[in-house]
Structure 1
Amino acid sequence: MSAGSKAVLGVTLLLSVGTVVAVHLQQQRDRERLREGVLRDLERQSRKQENIRLLEDQIILTKHLEAERDRQALDRGPQQS
């Protein structure tokens, strides 16, 4: 084998190995990003459920407050007359 052939073979081998390694690393990054996306979605769903629970609590408290205010208004109404 001539020196030129060996050089071409070596360069080709290095480029092939480099390409395989680059593709492997890119796939790992893609998989990691996908996992992070799933975790972000789960966190977002958790926050959404918590917000819904807080909103329901606020609605209940508002109804209690309005009922108490109405009761007080009814109690004060006849006394002031």
Structure 2
Amino acid sequence: MSRSSWLALATSALLSAAIVVAVHVQQRRELERLRSGVLRDLERQNQKKENIRLLEEQIALTKQLMEERDKALMQKGSQKS
């Protein structure tokens, strides 16, 4: 085998190996990105549930406060009469 043909074979083999490695690295990165996307979605869903729970709690507290205020106003009005 001549030196130039051996060099061409070695170069093409190294280039092919580099391409295979690059594709595998790219696939791993994409898989990790997809997995992290799923984890972010789950975290967002949990945060949304927590926000809804807090909002419902605030609505209940506001309703309770308004009822107590109305009772106090009624008692104040009946005491004046």
Alignment of 1:5-24 (within 5 A): 5-24=5-24
Structure 1 gap ranges (5+): none
Q: Deviations over 1:46-80 (max 9, x none)?
A: 00000000000000000000000000000000212
Alignment of 1:19-58 (within 5 A): 19-58=19-58
TM-score (normalised: structure 2): 0.98
Match of 1:59 in 2: 59
How many percent of aligned residue pairs carry the same amino acid? 59
Structure 2 gap ranges (5+): none
Give the Cα separation in 2 of the matches to 1:61 and 1:78.
26
Amino acid at match of 2:58: Q
Matched pairs, number: 81
Runs ≥4 residues deviating over 4 A: none
Match of 1:69 in 2: 69
Q: Deviations over 1:2-37 (max 9, x none)?
A: 000000000000000000000000000000000000
CA RMSD of aligned residues (A): 0.6
